[in-house]
Amino acid sequence: MKLILPLLIAILFSLELYSQTSISGGSVNGTWTQAGSPYLIEGEISIENGDSLRIEPGVSVEFQGSYKFIVQGQIIAKGTEADSIVFTAKHPSIGWQSIRFIETPLTNDTSRFEYCVFEHGRVYDEWPDNCGGAIGAAFFGKIIIDHCLFDRNIAIIENPATGLPSGGAIALMESSPVIRNSKFICNESHYGGAICCYIESNPVIENNLFSWNYAHTWGGAILCVVRSDPKISNNTFTLNQSFMYGGAILCGDSCSPQIEYNLFYSNGAKKDGGAIEMFGDCNPKIINNTIANNSADSVGGGIDISWDCSPEIRNTILWGNTAINGNQVYIWEETCKPNFYYSDIQGGQSSIGGVSITGEYMECIDLDPLFIDPLNKNYHLTELSPCIDAGDPEMFDPDGTRSDIGVFYYNQALHTPTAFNATNINGSGFTGHWSSCFGALMYKLDVAYDGAFTNFVGEYNDYPVNDTLIVIDGVEAGVCYYRVRSQNGHFTSPNSNTVDVQLLDVDELRVTGCGLRVFPNPCSGAARLRYLISDSGYLISDLYSISGMKIRELVNEMMPAGEHEIEMDVSDLPDGVYFVRVQAGQEVAVKKLLVVH
């Protein structure tokens, strides 16, 4: 009996460890649990109108063949950062045929996918079976996709001449979901390597990464066609490719998307539009983007504009893009009237190929934007960038200053200084010290008799100081307090910490003489300093370099009369000559110290 019980426990544990649930096909609803995972899909499945399916974190949904998942009701698939939900295929070369919201009744509540992984979706054949490798939606947009990964999904069109869109990861037709905080990696299609927005689809596409997606024809990452106006913001597009047009984004046939605060780098097109291509009466707003180091084998290394398109390009950096003609921008016809405002365009108007600009070209610059490190993919601005405060003066960055040019603004908000303990304290004053703050043009100092700073010492209320120290005099009480703020042309930092200063009584200041001995000398690891003062008082001692620069403070405190000794570590000092200085009252002594390691 003693042997049977452990054996039963082991068997039960083994069954739980290797539990799985087979779904032969048909309608599904209820809850798919982690305990029942993986769910093996062995036929086409569907959620019926009015029904819902919830999928728990950690669940794996594995399609055993090329099967569809049709949603006519609601699906809630909410994983977590630590426990994603995975939609995958047993045979990646065969794949699975996507989750479909095709004319899902609008009476159903919003479907959600959070922290889900979609991989190895593969669709082909005719509409809608050639669109949306992982998710396809038509005439239904009540979908939220958040913190998901779309990896190696494919939408193949057997007859590309039909012109129907595909969308390697997601395809939309009259559908406007929210797609945010997600990654689209190595997806592939004929049209729209990652996402296709077709016929009045206006999704929100924000805070995503698009990388290594590929389109056989148009739009390496995103395709917008036929009156689709998505909001594409705060995304990164890199290493996406199109075999024809639009390495990252293509807009066609009366589309006017909002393309703002995106980073485009190292995307490419075999023909035109290394980053963005547009044709057919499209008027996108391209605002505060950085479009750098993209390429086209023909024209428009950054942006290609054709067929009556009139985009607005504002606060945007176009730099380092390459093409046979029009490195930064190419304009095909005079009926195209792009407007350029407050942008940094390498080569200026001469870098814009094709016909002459017939739109406006206002307040643009041609200056190296001084990225921090573009070779290592850091396209933030350095503090010396000419793009800082050079954008549209009617627009503002989050730090409250005039807008910068490009996707990344340079934060001009100031750090708060740290106030240090006072030195050189006497009966009526002291020296105040604080840390320096990058970008500060001055500091504002308060000195008061109370910690609430309501009773100020003389003029020391918001007192301007152009250094990180100040000598204060004229204090008429035994204790006072000081604090400081950094300031530039735009900002004043919060107050520093408050430092209290106990001034010395007159009796404490009597010092009639001092002496100093330094040994061993020369020294290598540590030196001993011996002070001799003839009366009690305040003693200050510092170490200086041979050039007279103060290196460190040694003593700054009240000392009783007599002999005092301290040890000073010199192991961190380079070989050379230094000076130790001591002051007690009006008496000063200086000794030379030789450091030799």
In tens, the pLDDT along 316-333 reads 999 999 999 999 999 999
Angstrom distances, CA of residue 183 to CA of 82, 119, 187: 16, 12, 10
Query: Rounded CA gap, 524 and 223, in Å?
Result: 70
5 burial type by CB count under 10 A (0-12 exposed, 13-18 middle, 19+ buried): exposed
Question: Is position 484 within any domain?
Answer: yes
The answer, yes or no, to whether residue 476 has pLDDT greater than 90, is: no
Check residue 590 and give its pLDDT. 83
Question: What does the pLDDT look like over 508-547, one tens digit per residue?
Answer: 444 456 778 888 888 888 888 888 887 777 788 888 887 7
pLDDT digits (tens, 9 = 90+) for 41-86: 999 999 999 999 999 999 999 999 999 999 999 999 999 999 999 9
**Listed residues 348, 382, 409: the one ending a domain:** 409
- As a whole number of angstroms, the distance between CA 20 and CA 34 comes to 9
* pLDDT at 8 exceeding the cut of 50: no
Residue 233 has pLDDT above 80, yes or no: yes
Query: How many domains are contained in the chain?
Result: 4
- Which residues, 6 or more positions from 232, have their beta carbon under 8 angstroms from its beta carbon? 205, 206, 222, 249, 257, 258, 259, 260, 262
Q: Supply the CATH number for residue 444's domain.
A: 2.60.40.10
pLDDT at 510: 45
Boundary (domain end) residue, out of 243, 273, 289: 243
Q: Which two tokens stand for residue 392?
A: 């549209």
Residue 470, pLDDT above cutoff 90: yes
Q: Look up residue 305 and give its amino acid.
A: I
> How many other CB atoms sit within 10 Å of the CB of residue 419?
20
| pLDDT of 410 | 92
Residues 439 and 483 in one domain: yes
Q: Are residues 538 and 573 in the same domain?
A: yes
Residues 221, 189 contacting (CB under 8 angstroms):
no
Residue for token pair 């390495």: 247
Top-confidence residue, 158 or 545: 545
pLDDT in tens, 405-442: 999 999 888 889 999 999 888 878 899 999 998 778 89
Q: Tell me how far apart the alpha carbons of residues 506 and 246 are, in angstroms, rounded to a whole number.
A: 81
Residue 212 CB contacts under 8 Å (≥ 6 apart), including other chains: 185, 186, 239, 240
> Which has the higher per-residue pLDDT, 10 or 133?
133
Whether 225 and 264 map to the same domain: the answer is: no
Instruction: Tell the residue number behind the tokens 């086209």, with chain if given.
Output: 296
**Are 356 and 331 found together in one domain?**
yes
The answer to whether residue 271 is domain-embedded is yes
* pLDDT 10s digits, 251-304: 999 999 999 999 999 999 999 999 999 999 999 999 999 999 999 999 999 999
Asked if residue 498 is part of any domain, the answer here is yes
Mean pLDDT of the region 479-502: 91
Of the residues 381, 409, 437, which one is the last residue of a structural domain? 409
Same domain, 514 and 497: no
- Could you tell me if 281 and 299 lie in one domain? yes
Torsion sign, CA atoms 269, 272, 277, 280:
negative
Q: Would the pLDDT of 214 be above 50?
A: yes
Question: Is 423 within a domain?
Answer: yes
Neighbouring C-beta atoms of residue 542, cutoff 10 Å = 17
pLDDT digits (tens, 9 = 90+) for 342-399: 999 999 998 899 999 999 999 999 999 999 999 999 999 998 999 999 999 999 999 8
Query: Does a structural domain hold residue 351?
Result: yes
Which residue did the predictor score with more confidence, 7 or 473? 473
Q: How far is CA 136 from the centre of its chain?
A: 30
575 Cβ neighbours under 8 A, 6+ residues apart: 595, 596, 597
Cross-strand bridge partners of residue 145: 113, 179
184 & 206 share domain: yes
The two tokens of residue 501 are 């200063």
Flag whether 8 is in a domain: no
Question: 170-173 and 195-198 as β-strands: parallel, antiparallel, unpaired?
Answer: parallel
Residue 539 lies in a domain: yes
- CATH code assigned at 545: 2.60.40.1930
Q: Which residue from 319, 363, 377, 312 is spatially nearest to 338, judged by alpha carbons?
A: 312
Q: Do strands 268-269 and 442-448 pair parallel, antiparallel, or not at all (unpaired)?
A: unpaired
With contact defined as beta carbons under 8 Å apart, do 238 and 218 qualify? Answer: no
Q: State the greatest distance between any 2 C-alpha atoms of the chain, in Å, as a whole number.
A: 102
Reply yes or no on whether the pLDDT at 596 is more than 90.
no
Are both 36 and 94 inside the same structural domain?
yes
116: exposed, middle or buried (C-beta count within 10 Å: 0-12, 13-18, 19+)?
A: buried
Report cis status (omega within 30 of 0) of the bond before 522.
Answer: yes
Q: How far apart are CA 367 and CA 348, in angstroms?
A: 9
For residue 2, pLDDT beyond 70: no
pLDDT at res. 307: 94
Same domain, 348 and 370: yes
- Tell whether 194 and 55 lie within a shared domain: yes
pLDDT of residue 513: 63
Q: How far is CA 48 from CA 36, 54, 74, 119, 127, in A?
A: 22, 14, 8, 24, 21
Q: Are 191 and 166 in contact (CB under 8 A)?
A: yes
Position 478 confidence tier, pLDDT thresholds 50, 70, 90: confident
Q: Which two tokens stand for residue 130?
A: 């050639």
Domain match, 95 and 239 both: yes
Q: Strand, coil or helix: what is 106?
A: coil
Place of tokens 């007690």: 584
> Residue 595: pLDDT above 70?
yes
Whether 250 is covered by a domain: the verdict is no
Same domain, 401 and 287: yes
Which range of residues forms the domain containing residue 555?
Answer: 508-595
pLDDT of the residue at 586: 67
pTM above 0.85, yes or no: no
Q: How many residues does the chain have?
A: 597
Q: Mean of the pLDDT values across residues 336-345?
A: 97
